[in-house]
Amino acid sequence: MTRLTVHIDGGARGNPGPAGWGALIQADGGEPVELRGTLPHATNNVAEYSGLLAALEWCRDYGARKVHIKSDSLLLVQQMRGVYKVKNAGLKPLHGRARLLAHEIGSVTFEHVRREHNADADRLANAAMDEAEATADPVADDATPES
What's the chain's average pLDDT? 93
107-112, strands of its sheet edge to edge? 33-42, 17-27, 3-12, 66-71, 107-112
d(CA 71, CA 120): 11
Q: What's the half-sphere exposure (Cβ side, CA atoms, 13 Å) at 1? A: 10
Q: Could you give the C-alpha distances from 50 to 29, 54, 81, in angstroms and in order?
A: 26, 6, 17
pLDDT 10s digits, 27-65: 988 899 999 999 999 999 999 999 999 999 999 999 999
pLDDT > 70? residue 23: yes
Specify the pLDDT at position 28: 84
d(CA 107, CA 137): 41
| Mean pLDDT (whole number) for 11-35 | 95
pLDDT-based confidence at 1, cuts 50/70/90?
low
pLDDT 10s digits, 85-116: 999 999 999 999 999 999 999 999 999 999 99
CATH class of 3-135: alpha beta
Specify the pLDDT at position 141: 35
Q: What pTM value is reported for the model?
A: 0.91
